[in-house]
Amino acid sequence: MRPIEDKVELSIDFPEKFYRGAFEQESRYDATAEGDGLLMRFERGGDEKRSVSLHLHHYVLAGLLMAWADSLKSAPPIDKPHAAELKTALKAVEKRLG
């Protein structure tokens, strides 16, 4: 597990239950290839222990990335440090995909 350097915000809305939480710098995360997709895990320790796991199949993950890319056209520019980190990560993914 890696430490979260920024923040993850999560909300889940069920018919009779709503959950909203954040995983911040005292929390950890992991992302691993699992069979037909990506498994993401977020954990928070301490008095209020929480964990969330999310599995995205490859086509859904690709669709999310494309939707995000499309939305960037009309969004304010991402600041240079974040943009550089994202580009590095995307290049690493491209390299591993072959």
Q: Where are the domains of the chain?
A: 2-97
In this structure, what token pair is assigned to residue 71?
A: 């939305």
Each residue of 27-39: pLDDT tens digit?
Answer: 999 999 999 999 9
Angle at 86 between CA 95 and CA 37, to 5 degrees: 55
| Residues 27, 2 contacting (CB under 8 angstroms) | no
Each residue of 35-84: pLDDT tens digit?
Answer: 999 999 999 988 889 999 999 999 999 999 999 999 999 999 999 999 99
Its pTM stands at: 0.86
